[in-house]
Amino acid sequence: MMHLRGLMLALLALCVAVPVAAQDSLPPAPYAYNQLSDPQQEAAAQALMQTLRCLKCQSQSIADSDAPMAGDMRHQVRTRISMGEDPEAIRAWLIDRYGDYVSYAPTISETTWPLFAVPLLLILVALIVLWRRIRRRA
């Protein structure tokens, strides 16, 4: 039993140690973990950061990720917003470099239009069915 516990602990330590070894040694960018002093600007930055994908850890937003690159992206977002740039312009700047993939905000495009069209179509079909049933009863 002790053996197993030791092994488990060693495995756990390994899990923790490996990602740390692949990190850089520089301190985080100034605005990676510091909020902007203007609460309105910080709110705008937060809203944007929650809809931008971390490129290193692709199922997290840059607001959720502790990857150094996500920190640098947050720094980029906050400094640009503090200089008065529009959040959507920052999103557009990133999409311009990485494609739609970097943004979590849904857009209607050549490949995504069925996602928006199918629910509308289903509602329409349901309404037609309903209407015909009601008419039959009456």
Is residue 13 left, alpha or beta, with left meaning phi > 0 and alpha meaning psi from -120 to 50?
A: alpha
Q: Residue 107: helix, strand or coil by DSSP?
A: coil
Could you tell me the smallest distance in angstroms from the CB atom of residue 24 to other proteins? Answer: 4
Residue 79: Cβ within 10 Å count:
15
| Binding of residue 75 to other proteins (CB under 8 A) | yes
| Binding of residue 63 to other proteins (CB under 8 A) | no
Unique residue bearing structure tokens 């092994």: 7
Could you tell me the smallest distance in angstroms from the CB atom of residue 98 to other proteins? Answer: 5
Please report, for the chain, how many H helices and E strands are present, in that order: 5, 0
Among 61, 68, 85, 103, binds other proteins (CB under 8 A): 68
Residue closer to other proteins by CB (options 8, 89) is: 89
Q: Residue 2: helix, strand or coil by DSSP?
A: helix
Could you tell me the smallest distance in angstroms from the CB atom of residue 78 to other proteins? Answer: 12
Q: Catalog residues that contact other proteins under the rule CB under 8 A.
A: 22-26, 29, 55-56, 58, 68-69, 72-73, 75-76, 94, 96-99, 101-102
